[in-house]
Every structure is written in C-alpha cells, then in structure tokens.
Chains A and B, each alone.
Chain A
Amino acid sequence: MIPTAAVEATSDSAPTGFAWRRDGLQWNSVEVEWRKVINWGGLCALGLVFIALSGMLVGLDGRPVLQRYFSLGYLAMVWLPLLLGQAVNNEVVREGIAGRPRGAGDLLAGATVGGLGGLGLGALILGIANFDLRDPLVNWSPQLLALLGFNQGNTFGFVVWILLGAALGMLGASLHLMGPDLRRLVGIVVGTVLFVAIFETIIVDLAKGFRLVFVTDFLYGLRGGLLAEGVVALAVVAGAAAVLGQGRIKEAKASLAALEGTERKWANAILLVVAAALLVIVPQFTGKITNELLANVGIFLLLALGLNIVVGLAGILDLGYVAFFAVGGYATAVLTSPRSNFLPAVCDTFLWFECEPASLPWALALVVVVIVAALTGLFIGAPVIRMRGDYLAIVTLGFGEIIRLLFLSDWLTGFFGGAQGVTNIPPADFGLFEVAGIDPRSVFYLVLFFCGVAIYISWRLERSRIGRAWMAIREDESVAEAMGINTVNMKLMAFVVGAILASFGGAIFAAKVGSIFPSSFLILVSIIILVVVIVGGIGNIPGVILGAVVLIGVLGGPKQPGLLQEFSQYKLLIYGALLIWMMLKRPEGLLPNARRTRELHQDEFLQDAWLKGEVDLDDDDPTGGRPAAEGTVPMETTPGDSASGEVAPA
C-alpha cells in the first residue's frame, strides 16, 4: 500500500515571484457554493452589528489610527469582512486531490459575504433611525448612528457600508489569487503599518529611550495617529525589507537546524546568551511605560510557568491557582509591612506577651513565604489530589475562592486587614539596589531572575524520573499507578512546586504594588493565567513565554493595562473570543509541545508517520517496514495538510 497521491494538491508549490498565482486561475466561469456563502455573510452581518453595539465603534472613535481619516473604532469593524471574505474561500486540501480552480468565483463569494455584512449594518442604521432601543441596548445611540453614516446621513451610510463591505470582502478573497510571495509582501506591508499605527504609545516611549524621537515625530507628527506620509514611508520600508529579506530567515533557520551535535549546542548556547543579554540591556534604554509593561508580563509569566508545571506537566487542571499567588502576596505583606497587625494579633490571641510587626527584609521574608506556600500547597492538595478531571477542577476553583474570602473575612480582619488589605509594604531592599514599584525596571530585573529560576526548574524536572512519572499520569492515571508510580505523591509534588513558584510571584507583586487587597486575587487571575498557558502552548516553555507576551503584553492582565489600552474595556471579550478560536483551530496552542500535538492530532500524526514509512506494518520484518535509507521518504506532508479521515493501518 504505497501511496501514489500527487503533491499538486498544495498548488502554492510553484515559485511565482511577486506575482499573481500562475496556475489554475479561472475567469470565464463562476462556481460559488451559495448556501455556504450566505451563511458566512450572515455571520459577517451579525459580527459587525455586534461590534457596533458593543460600543467599540463609538468608544474607540476618539483614537485615530490614520490622522484625520481613520479611527481605531472603524478599524475594529473593517477587519471582519476582510477576514471572512478570505476565510469563506478556504478549502481543505486533501492529499492527491487537485485544489479547486481559483478566480472570479472567489471574488464573487468574498464580495457577497462582505456585502451581506454591510447590509447588516445598513439594517442597524435603519433600526436606530426608527426605533429607540436604548433601554436594552446601551449603545443604541444617535452618536452610533452618526458614525455609522460617516456623518453624511443615513442613506449615505447604508449604501457605503454595503459597497465597502463588498469591497473589503473581495479584497480578502483576492489573497487567494496571489502567488505566495506576493501574499507575503502584502501581509508584511499591511501588518507593519497597522502595527505601527496601533502601538503608537509604546513606540513613542521606546523611541524616547533610544533617542529616535525624530522618527516618531515624522511618523506621528504631533501624536494621535499616523500621518499620510508616515504610512507611505512605512509601506516602502516594510516592502523593501520584505523583498530584500526574502527567504533569509528561512535560510538562517534551516542552517541552524542543520547543525549537529556540539555545534548545535554551541549555537543554542550563543542564542540563549544573546537573548539574556538583550533582556538585561534593553530595559536600560526603555521608558517607564515599557518597563512597567515588561514587569507585568514578567509577573504573569512567572505564574504561568508555575501553572504550566501543574497543568502542563502533571496534567492537574487547577482552577484555583490564584490561591498560592495570594498566599505569597499576603505572607510577604504581613512579614515585611511595619503597619501589618498580623504578628501583634497572633501574639495577642495565642501568646501572653505583646510583640511588634515583624518588618523583615524582603529576602528573609521570602524564605518564610516559600515554606508557607509549600505547606498551603500540601494542605489544599492533599484532599484535592485524589480526585480526577472535572471534580478536581471544580474543587480547586472552590479553594481558590475560599483563600481569598478568608483574607477578606471579618473573622480574620485582625490578622489580614479584611477589605482594607495590608498597606505600607516596603520595597525589597537588597543592599546594593532596591526593588520598588516606582522603579519598574528594578521589578523587571527581579522578576526576570525568578522566571529564569522557574524555567530551569521546569526544564530539569521534565527531563527526570519525576517528569516521566508526570507524563505517564497524564496519559493514563490508573496504568501509571499499576506500573508502580505513587500518583498521589507525584501529583502533590507538582502542586507544591507550582505553589512555590506562584508564591514568588506573590512576593514580588507585594513589593511592587506596596499594598495588597483581597480584590487583587480574584478568580479571574486564575483564569487568565490558565488562558496564557493554553493559548501559548501547554507544556512548552517557549509557548508559555509567547502566551504571556502576547496576552498580558498586548491585551493586559486582569487589572494591568497592556499595549492595547484602548481595548481594556473589551479585554475579557477578546480573551474569550481568542480562546474559542484557539480551541477550534489550534487546540495545542501557538507554540505547541510536540507531544501534546501528537495527543491532539493522533490520526494526522499516524498518517504522517505512515506516509514517511515509520509505522511498522509487517511484524515478521524486524526492521518494521522502515525505508532502507534516510532520504527515500515517499513524500512530505505536514499534519495540517492531510485529511484526518484516513487512519493509518496499525
């Protein structure tokens, strides 16, 4: 059963240069699956109306992207028809089946989807003009109507949205007609312009640090959106870079991957050192906004790395992880703050003499904090760990809330200050330097150190006897138990290591913010950390780092602003949408762990292995049907390409 399927299915294979695709364009006949297109059009209309009614159009209109022409509010709308116009024409490429011919049909489909979306907005215009639904729909306002009509009246708005939608949809669809190089070029140019336009604040802050203010002056003029000449200049520069850099990155990657043995190790070590040096040096130049952002990303990264050990390595779905963050924060607070009533209250209640607040230095307090966190981990873990799956998740969720409510409760107000929290937490003093919230750079360095520690711990534990036991537990807990693994101990250990890492995060957080309250430790924190881990790639450290940078850095933490400050009202909406999309399209995360990908795409993986001749078919043949030599692989496929219908013979 040697597959004889052809490779033409991925018709992008022919190199075309910066041009339209050469093969299979078809203009004379039109094939459109109308049912599908109309469904997608409906989706587009619903999406646009939803975005308009969510308040983004009105709320973000004050923030220009292109000075005088285009605001963030409109940008929040126009991406949708563009994307759906592209997506409606996607097709599943199957091995050995030639792709559908591209051409007029795609454009028509894209235009219809976008046009229907515009029609949806037109209906909204008519609705707002004729009815008053401000009661249920807060954003059903004349102001929205004005913006929907581009301040030119309702009829104008109605017509323009339909035309604009159709045009955008067609533009999206036209991506399918481009050769791969052209598509890349367009992507890079548009992406760069949008990036520079949206992230104005941080770019200005960075430019100040690196003394490049003249560049930002040119791009943004007096601030508040890109200038037209800025756009042109950016497009030219980005386009030139794309053309000149064509294939360079791929080449560099390939030559790195080609290195063997010690050379590979050296290359990795050098890359690591360069990355570390950049992380140490760059904050010296960056402004306060950037450093604050880096510090926040770092704290959440530390928490995510800890949770990754619990969820990613040991497979324990802990929804109450914030409990350990809270314990770390509160323990640090009561031990270091001179205003904390904790120690006096303890002496008063349990002992017969009086005492002063502990006021320990941060580093010394940290030792106690780690012990307290480990004990809390054991205490919470012991009853929870014997449960499995959903039960465990729910119970940890409960414990997460219980810990917060204990800190909030009247009963323990004497110790932890109730809703007033603990204030006057001093900065962490290390003699040579001090880590304080007013100096986010110092916080970032401290957090960087602990992230390094967390990464080292995860890395070493994963590649040890303990890591293998966690892996086995994740795969099949009862079998792991039958193979001699003390599953309770191993899971408890993951729980405790996770608790300790979270308490580091809590300790740094306390020193950074100076006062902590129960409301800093809402269940939302647990959820967001979990989303960071899932979106980044469960069980893979680079993935978790990417997840933290993308989510916390761009969108922001539960209370911390990210780069997209304007969207902070819609943060949870975006988090939710992103999570749903990821679960549908890429459940293994942005940068997945190879093993996890295999678990989630086992059919594809097996088919792939089979095509490469790695699945052993013949039991009598001890070589297991492997191709005689490396390089005689029948064909190359990536898991995403192959249809999952076929299961490899096993």
Chain B
Amino acid sequence: MSDRLLDIQNLSVTFGGLHALRDLNFHVDEGEIVSVIGPNGAGKTTFFNMISGMVAPTSGEILFEGQSIVGLDPNQITGLGIARTFQNVRLFANMTIAENIMVAQHCRTKQGAWGALFQTKAFREEERAIRAHAEKVLGFFGTRLIGYRLDQPAAVLSYANRRRLEVARAMATSPKLILLDEPVAGMNPKESAELTELIGKLRSEWGFTVVMIEHDMSVVRDVSDRVVVLDHGEPIAQGTYEEVSTDPQVIEAYLGRPVDGAA
C-alpha cells in the first residue's frame, strides 16, 4: 500500500446506456511504466479522462497517494501531480512553443497581478525560472524544439513534433504520474523508436511514473513493466507483456490477430 501511487477501485462509468468502463480495478506503483492496451472504443481514453478529472465516474474510487481525487477539478488533479497528453493532439496552436510549455508551469508558480504590475524582483526571477525550465524540458527532445523554434507558433510544427510538444507540455507541469495517450500514433518507425527510448528516460532521468495507452505493440513491449488489457470497458488481462500477449482472451479480443510486436 505504501508505494501505491495510483489505486483505482471498482471504477465504472456509463454514457447513457453505454458502459464505457465497468468495475475496473487497477493500480500503479511508484516508478512503474504501465501500458494500457485494447481495441478501438475499449474505453482507454475514457479511463484517462476520469483520472484527470475531465469525466466524472459513475461509481468507484480513485486514490492518488492514498487520497481520493474523485470530484476534484482537473486543475487540482494536475496540481497534485498527474499530467496527461491528448490522443488528438490539443496544443495551444496560436501560442508559441515556449509559451505552450511556460503556461503548463502555471500550477507550480505563484506570482500574481501584484508582481506583474510592479515588476518585483520575485516576479522577474520567477519569469526567468519559468523560461529556463521550459528550455530544459524542450531540450529533452534534442534540438528540434529549441532555438529559433521557441518563438514560433505551435501551428507550424510537423505532426511528430506536435506529439513531442504534447509530451513536453505534460512534463512541464512537474508531475509525479504522467499519462500518455498514444504518444507515438502517426509516427514513422524511426521516430517512434526514438520516442520509446525517451519514454524510458522519463522514468530514469525525470523520475516520473508513466501510464501509457498505445496501439503499437513494439513500443509496448520495449518499455512497459506491466500491461493491462481493456475490452468493452472491462479489464480482461493484466501482467507482463509476455503473459498478456499469450492470453487467449486477449487474442480473442483482438479478433484472432496475433498480439506480437513483430506483427
């Protein structure tokens, strides 16, 4: 119990008559990388929406560091240390790349109107720190998002770079737990291999615990300690990649498709 970062008990949600999630029990320990997989419409994104407070569960309990977070506002949950990315990249397209990252540090900084109006020393120092942290986070992705790019609007970025910026924005909130919704979707094999490596570094270098939704099995195999399979809102298997990929129920859920990285 002591090192359970996230503990989810009997979580259910229904939209109208549709059970998007049913009786989900799930936990994440500090320092783990967990993948959530499942066919389209299985309820994976809904699961993230619920953890991040954007959708209220119909029943069940979500404990983060032992404290219930059901009913909190999304910004309070982010403040407690859970950050997320969006499957359908939702950047602030008309803000610059630097601003996208700076604004994500909002809940970790505190200067208000007073400091801004009178340009106090504390205000100027905090602004400098915000900018420096933004450059540090963006530097994690190599040279792609820094330099002259810092002051370009996010709209000009290529698709893969937008995905990277999404991850960077979640990192900038200084979370304990980071939720990645299909981080490599739409990337070519080379790019996704590179990002897979970076996901590993999120834990080893930044100390984040990671929960990741992913369809790309090679990514899942390469980084996850544990895999959870959802189907029709229900967890049908949990375990290591090898255990899960040979589970007959899982294979059936994927309509007989072999769940193998090579496929």
Contact = CB atoms under 8 A, between A and B. Distances in A.
Interface string B57-93: 0000000000000000111001100011010001011
Contacts of B9: none
Nearest to A597: B94
B95 interface: yes
A624 interface: yes
A609 B104 CA distance: 26
Given A461-B116, A465-B111, A598 B156 contact: no
B156 A484 contact: no
Nearest to B169: A483
**Majority-rule SS of A interface residues:** helix
* Size band of the interface chain A makes with B: 35 or more
Contact of A471 (B99, B111, B126, B191): B99
Contacts of B249: none
B161 interface: yes
Contacts of A486: 73, 75, 107
Contact of A476 (B90, B113, B152): B90
A464 interface: yes
B99 A465 contact: no
Contacts of B157: 616, 650
Contacts of B142: 622
A616 B113 contact: no
B167 to A, nearest CB: 13
Interface in A633-650: 650
Given A482-B75, A619-B191, A626 B148 contact: yes
A465 B109 contact: yes
A650 B94 CA distance: 15
B130 interface: yes
Nearest to B159: A650
Contacts of B73: 481, 486
Contacts of A622: 142-144
B198 interface: no
A387 to B, nearest CB: 16
B102 interface: yes
Interface in B126-157: 126-127, 130, 142-144, 148-149, 152-153, 155-157
A469 B103 contact: yes
A364 to B, nearest CB: 22
Interface residues of B, number: 55
A249 B251 CA distance: 74
Given A465-B111, A614-B156, A482 B52 contact: yes
A354 to B, nearest CB: 41
A466 B116 contact: yes
A226 B236 CA distance: 89
Contact of A465 (B78, B79, B90, B106): B106
Contacts of B90: 476, 479
B103 A497 contact: no
Contacts of A493: 113
Contacts of A609: 156
A619 B108 CA distance: 32
A484 B153 contact: no
A475 B93 contact: yes
Interface in A407-462: 456-457, 460-461
B217 interface: no
A602 B158 CA distance: 15
A479 B92 contact: yes
Interface in B16-62: 52-54
A606 B113 contact: no
Given A471-B92, A624-B149, A485 B117 contact: no
A241 B211 CA distance: 70
B75 A479 contact: no
Interface string A5-30: 00000000000000000000000000
Contact of B92 (A466, A467, A476): A476
Contacts of B111: 464-465
A481 B75 contact: yes
A102 B190 CA distance: 54
B204 interface: no
Contacts of A464: 111, 113, 115-116, 123, 127
Leading 4 A-B pairs by shortest Cβ distance: A484-B107, A464-B116, A484-B78, A475-B92
6 contacts: A465-B111, A483-B103, A483-B104, A616-B156, A622-B143, A626-B148
Given A460-B117, A493-B113, 11 more contacts: A468-B95, A468-B106, A469-B103, A472-B92, A479-B86, A482-B74, A484-B75, A486-B73, A605-B155, A616-B157, A622-B142
